[in-house]
Structure 1
Amino acid sequence: MEFFRERNLHLYGMVDMVPYISVLAVRPVGQTEKEVPYRSILPHSVDIDFIKRNIKTCVNEHESCRTSEEQADGLNVIDCRSQKVVPAPVGCQYIALSYVWGAKPEDATVGFPQVVQDSIRVTKALGCRYIWVDRYCIDQEDTQKQHIFNQMHRVYSNAFLTIIAGAGRDAHHGLPGVSSGRPKQIKFQLGNLQFDEVFPSNNLALTNSAWATRAWTYQESYFSRRRLCFTEKQVLWICNDCTQAECISSSSRGADHVETPVPLRRHKHVFIIGDMQYDICLYTARLLSYPSDSLNAILGVLQYYVELTTEPQHCGNEPAKGRGNRRALASGIDINHAWGVPLYRERQSQEIMFDVGWRHLKPGTRRPEFPSWSWAGWAGQIHFLESVVAPDMNWSFMTNRHIEVPRDAFHNQTVQGDDAPRGLVITTKVCPVTLWDNSTGHMTNQTTSSKFRVVFQLTETVYAGTEWAPDEVPDEVPDVHGDYLAASFWHKGEVFLDRYVNSFTGQMILRRRDQDFERIGISHMPKVNNPDWFYKNWTYFDAAGNILDLSDDDKEHLKEQDGHWWWYEHAETQRICIF
């Protein structure tokens, strides 16, 4: 058993074998590999026949792996015969590459990096002439390259298959089994038993890869129909219908249900708003080398949803019906986005709702190329809340020159792109607040998972504070009134879809920037006089920061004095602009 422990191997019988990790399969001596559900692989040569068998099955049998997408306009490809970039012939069959470029400097004198060279060899071995590689097929100096970024969903969904370079940390690593070797499987005999190492059959082998952490690779895998994943140990086949491992002779059907770091597009007959939000949340957990790519690297996903709601099954006139929180069907709305933030327009009323109700799971880092009210303006994973800007709230957009732009301009796609206005103008309830850092000694008796508090004055002698989720860790949190505001972006009354009506309200925490403001976080404050939530989530203290242990009578008096919406009642209606 010490032998097994040293090699992190687990021992399974042939019938019970569940190879989520490397295992040793046991079979009687004399039983051939044709009689067992696994196979040996060659360390220095990928099994091309394995790939071709999967391609044949997929092309002939998998309806969900076919596409009706139009070819991307202005598409270039590499001709594997001449190894030159050429305009893609109309309707040409090409393979796409998804990889990590990495930080290693490029040497223009040595031609393509190893991962591209290896991918060209695989492409030719599969009988295909053309391959698409972003670094070479998108002219990096062309001012029109944004045109291709907007069509990334077509580039990858039209690819015959996508090669995923899931090994190594840069483009010079190459593909294992093509230009570099792979680990040799352990095989030995004990008495009448044959022991064979079996590599993992599921695609979790990609979980810890550099490829699975990069932002650009999210939509590349998402739109691919057939994925050929090169890991350190073996090749994995992942199409929209099944998964298959080079080391395992059986397949797993229903790829949508496999736990995987490989993003798979959900093929549904109805569009659900929560799907778009879910993709944005997963995408924001990934890393970018260049902050300016924050939006470009997911434009294909956003454009896919924009186009999806124009399909016949989504063009009904009935308003959307709720199906649980954040899962409302969108058969009666059109989708667009402003700087990556979803815009929903109800076809019947033409009302537009703006989904700015998101927060960071952990503090991130500001990306000044984008508006602070957009998730694209921050590095770090987000989560969507249950509150949005309601359609009947007075809001619009504003240019850097303070020229107001109507809200439907984004939805009509008349102002998308770098020239789009970055300011968000809202007429809403705002309240001056103070930001306190718990670690400085304020509210030290309060047990809370949050380091920061947003505080405002309730009476002449009593202050109230609750947690807030900062977008970034402030260098300093000064106790200054006037430079910080809490601005409500939830509007009283029933809003658009019934799933947005709830017992809480959200506030953007804003920092003054000259005459305008910048979003720096978000807070939840109660709008309903719910005693349990009311007492649990608020702390009361005096002007010196000493926590007050208010009696029940004092709390009842404050509630009677301030009414149900006690934060809302203390705020004033103002017109503010957030950049």
Structure 2
Amino acid sequence: MSLGTGVGDSFPEEARRASDLPSHEESIERTPWLRNHTLDPTKDGADLCSICGQLDFQFLLGASLRETIAEEDHASRPTILETGIPLGPVAELRARSYCRLCSLVSQMLQNLSANGTIPIEKNGQPIMCHLNSLVRDSTGLRLDGSKVEDTYTPFAFQLLITTRPPLIEEDEVEPRQDLPPPPLIHRLSGEGASESSGYGREIPTSSIDFDLLSYWIQTCARKTAEESQMEGDMSKSKQSTLSLRLIDVIEQCLVGPIEGLEYIALSYVWEKVTPFILTEANLPNLKQSGALSTGDPAIPQTIRDAMILCKRLSERYLWVDSICIVQDVQDKLVQIGQMDKIYQQAKMAIIAAYGTDAHAGLPGVRPNSRWSSQQVVNLQGMKVSNVLPGLGNAVDAAPWNARAWTYQERLFSNRKLYFCKEQVFFECDHGEYREDMLIDPHYNTRAGKVTYGCDPEHGTGHKIIYRNKLNIHVYEEIIFEYTLRNLSFEEDILNAFQGVSNVLSRDLFNSSPFAFGMPLCLLDVALLWYPIGPLHRRRRAGPNASHFPTWSWAGWVGHFKLDWYGNVSEKTTSQVEWLSADEAEVPLEAELTGMPKSSWPYWKFWERHVGDGQFIYYTRKDGDHERWTCHPISDPVDGQPTPVDFQTGQLHLRAKIAKLTVTNKHSGRWCQSPKCDEGVHGKCELSVFDSDGLRAGVVTLDGNSFQRLTPGLHEFICLSQTTLSHADSDPAWDEETESYAGKPGGSPISPRPPLNKEDEPFDQGRYDPNICWCFYNVMMIEWQDGVVYRVGIGQVHVHAFDKASPRSHKILLG
């Protein structure tokens, strides 16, 4: 194949025509990425093949191809560069192992493969390999360097390897997994290069550069101090400091409890390893100098490495849960209840993202304790290497990131030092550092935090984003993410979530208490969660173990969702009378569990907003207008009664119960899982029938509950009344007041056409969709020893439910 010179390996004529390769005479003028002389083995050596030898890598790693060919002089550019410079079929690259670039590219493509082999064809077509240049700056990767708007922002060039057809496509990736990062090559920096130059960096193979890590940490601390001084932000100094036991890595023993010491926290995976733990019995001994020796094999390697690391970074105190919390007394529950503060107040968290248990260690802390796939080669006098996987890819796929306990540790740590298989990353509120690349997140932060949003390799920061986002939306995202993670012990579901619920309560729900993972002020809508796959009941530990409550997502093992779009609180009117869980069973005010009644005296302190698409939210008039709530929330009152018995997990309420028929017939609507048609049941939406056999609504069951279902009459609690649709597509919507102003069951304010067949939840010949507030949110239940348990959640037309002769019951919902 030739890149315009007529020399080199053979290249299929069809591909040659498609690439529109220039002739030798015009190639240099039109293609500055080619060298100005034909490959001469006596000058250039035998380290590049005849294709790669024609390329000018000094040019390619110093300019954007897309920018270059867009210039007027290149108006008649070859179409070759629309997809990049062709390097040839993958099969030929593999054969050119003598070529430094081809060998590097082959190895990079092999790293993408799950089984370590590179396919040479796909769907009968040979896989072709192309080379393009990219610009990397503080906002990520792009093709065109002219798009860098900030002249103060440094940027460098990288080479992108692409294949056609792609080696891996989106439909070939496992569910919930991202595509692997694109193969990239970058130029390595020379001596004294700036940390913000954008060049690559050669990683020491034996052990990490501790001075480099110290530089990262100190730079962030200095920048943060400058920002705090400029903004007059003294919030951190006003925080009440915790009284903690800590490991003194100099004396190698336990100290405290003591307040006010600066410390590093360790986040790691225990897994099934028998941990080295603190107990009442060994506490006195562990306070003796040398009791926690880094040479003691009884202490898991990850903890010993963290102690070594702290000492090398001149950090004296380390917090480790297994050693700093007494594991066999009440102290453990107290400490679990303040996990959010422990990680928030730490100077930094060490993240042991590599390995499956506490014996894995921190790669690179000890000599010869890590391996890297970085390959450094010399191209035309320049050192280049493959770009290693970024923070997002390296950490998100790690066993550490799959653990429920580590979720809150990642959320609340202000600075994180990630130890991954191949390199170390540092992440803070300004952005990230990485060993294999010189990008300084503190170089230019005038526009705020650098998030590298366009770079698919970069992590998102994993902070809770409150601004301009509905609180129920934030909550739903967190629950969804958290319940995707694993627990070694099912009963830890709430303990591992305690720190998260503390922060959500304080920052999103006006300090409303949480009950079994659900904010009490949101109870009316939080009960409407639904499964997105098969579930099984979660049990507590012990010989006489009881279950967690069925009404909470925490009572089940599986995955869940909660509708929030358009503000579900605004279109939910409770039909339940909540009762205090004490002996008095006093009826509770509506604002404790949901939208306050119009007579609530504190409406004057809140403001209602209607945004684009009739998106409704509320803010406190005297509060942060960027923190949106789905309804006003009353201020907390000490000793306020709740409907939750925290000992039994039961909810106390009075509500109507009606009997309706459920069979194994699925609804057939658009939201039905196609796998149900194949007999694989995860989430099942079933039709609910009235006494005449007509469809009256739908109910959602998880696949396991569906398999146990006995067709026939089933009981349903009426939880709340709701609308058919959202905003101006709903009959109750009043365009003038921008609210659901229609009277429940009344004539429509905004009449709408009949529902499409794929949207129809009930028989429109019997039940009218064109009335206001036409649905009841219902919970399908079963009884056991006088207690009611959730089976499924659904919606039934109000006329169908009312026709079924519902009766009011005092209910214990377990």
Shorter-chain TM-score above 0.5: yes
SS of 1:148 mapped into structure 2: helix
Letter matched to residue 251 of structure 1:
D
Change (3 A) 1:267 1:427: closer
Asked if structure 2 preserves the Cα contact closer than 8 Å seen for 1:433 and 1:454, the reply is no
Cα deviation 1:250-279 (Å, max 9, x = unaligned):
135636675637632336599834323322
Q: Distance in 2 between matches of 1:210 and 1:344?
A: 35
Residue matched to 2:400:
211
TM-score by length of 1: 0.76
Residue matched to 1:323:
none
Residue matched to 1:548:
none
Deviation larger for 16-25 or 291-300: 16-25
Asked if structure 2 preserves the Cα contact closer than 8 Å seen for 1:21 and 1:199, the reply is no
- 1:366 and 2:537 aligned: yes
Change (3 A) 1:457 1:269: closer
Q: Distance in 2 between matches of 1:89 and 1:356?
A: 42
Match of 1:379 among 540, 553, 557: 557
Residue matched to 1:230:
419
SS of 2:350 mapped into structure 1: strand
What is the 5 A alignment of 1:64-83? 67-68=236-237, 70-71=239-240, 73-83=242-252
Deviation larger for 214-223 or 405-414: 405-414
Q: C-alpha displacement at 1:165, in angstroms?
A: 0.7
Q: C-alpha displacement at 1:222, in angstroms?
A: 0.8
Residue matched to 1:339:
516
Structure 2: which 5+ residue stretches go unaligned? 1-92, 95-102, 112-129, 134-155, 162-179, 278-295, 540-546, 594-635, 724-731, 733-737, 743-772
Asked if structure 1 preserves the Cα contact closer than 8 Å seen for 2:581 and 2:645, the reply is no
Cα deviation 1:363-409 (Å, max 9, x = unaligned):
2221134211111111222211255675673013547xx88476589
Match of 1:394 among 547, 566, 577: 577
Residue matched to 1:302:
501
% same residue: 26
- 1:251 and 2:440 aligned: yes
SS of 2:465 mapped into structure 1: coil
Residue matched to 1:543:
none
Q: Distance in 1 between matches of 2:304 and 2:466?
A: 33
Residue matched to 1:487:
717
Asked if structure 1 preserves the Cα contact closer than 8 Å seen for 2:203 and 2:436, the reply is yes
Q: C-alpha displacement at 1:356, in angstroms?
A: 1.7
What is the 5 A alignment of 1:142-541? 142-179=329-366, 180-192=369-381, 194-252=383-441, 254=449, 258=453, 260=459, 263-266=462-465, 268=467, 272-308=471-507, 333-344=510-521, 355-368=526-539, 369-386=547-564, 390=573, 393-396=576-579, 398=581, 404=585, 412=637, 414=639, 419-437=646-664, 448-449=672-673, 450=676, 451=681, 452=684, 454-462=686-694, 464=696, 466-470=698-702, 472-481=704-713, 484-491=714-721, 505-526=776-797
Q: Distance in 2 between matches of 1:116 and 1:91?
A: 23
Residue matched to 2:610:
none
Change (3 A) 1:385 1:134: same
Q: Distance in 1 between matches of 2:740 and 2:199?
A: 48
Cα deviation 1:287-340 (Å, max 9, x = unaligned):
11111111111111111233336xxxxxxxxxxxxxxxxxxxx6xx55221111
Change (3 A) 1:280 1:443: closer
Residue matched to 1:542:
none
Cα deviation 1:5-49 (Å, max 9, x = unaligned):
343269664614579837453559x96683761111112211222
Q: Distance in 1 between matches of 2:575 and 2:669?
A: 42
Residue matched to 1:21:
181
Q: C-alpha displacement at 1:436, in angstroms?
A: 3.2
Deviation larger for 110-119 or 246-255: 246-255
TM-score by length of 2: 0.55
Cα deviation 1:94-153 (Å, max 9, x = unaligned):
000111111233478833201101111111111111111111111110123211111111
Structure 1: which 5+ residue stretches go unaligned? 310-329, 346-351, 528-564
Letter matched to residue 377 of structure 1:
G
Asked if structure 2 preserves the Cα contact closer than 8 Å seen for 1:432 and 1:485, the reply is yes
SS of 2:512 mapped into structure 1: strand
SS of 1:243 mapped into structure 2: strand
Deviation larger for 370-379 or 77-86: 77-86
Residue matched to 1:544:
none
What is the CA RMSD across the aligned residues, in angstroms?
3.9
Residue matched to 1:5:
106
Q: Distance in 2 between matches of 1:446 and 1:126?
A: 57
Q: C-alpha displacement at 1:472, in angstroms?
A: 4.3
Q: Distance in 2 between matches of 1:181 and 1:189?
A: 24
Cα deviation 1:214-233 (Å, max 9, x = unaligned):
11111111111000011101
Q: Distance in 2 between matches of 1:59 and 1:490?
A: 51
Match of 1:139 among 323, 326, 330: 326
SS of 2:482 mapped into structure 1: helix
Q: Distance in 2 between matches of 1:271 and 1:210?
A: 31
Letter matched to residue 343 of structure 1:
L
Asked if structure 1 preserves the Cα contact closer than 8 Å seen for 2:660 and 2:716, the reply is yes
Asked if structure 2 preserves the Cα contact closer than 8 Å seen for 1:215 and 1:297, the reply is yes
Deviation larger for 511-520 or 129-138: 511-520
Q: Distance in 1 between matches of 2:694 and 2:470?
A: 48
Cα deviation 1:159-201 (Å, max 9, x = unaligned):
0000011111111000111132121521123555543122134
Residue matched to 2:612:
none
Q: C-alpha displacement at 1:566, in angstroms?
A: 3.1
Letter matched to residue 221 of structure 1:
R
Q: Distance in 1 between matches of 2:250 and 2:364?
A: 22
Q: Distance in 2 between matches of 1:381 and 1:343?
A: 21
Letter matched to residue 719 of structure 2:
F
Letter matched to residue 292 of structure 1:
E
- How many pairs align? 504
Deviation larger for 223-232 or 421-430: 421-430
Change (3 A) 1:290 1:256: farther
Q: C-alpha displacement at 1:477, in angstroms?
A: 1.7
Q: Distance in 2 between matches of 1:176 and 1:111?
A: 19
Query: Larger relative CO (CA 8 A, sep 6+): 1 or 2?
Result: 1
Cα deviation 1:476-503 (Å, max 9, x = unaligned):
222243xx42222214699xx9799987
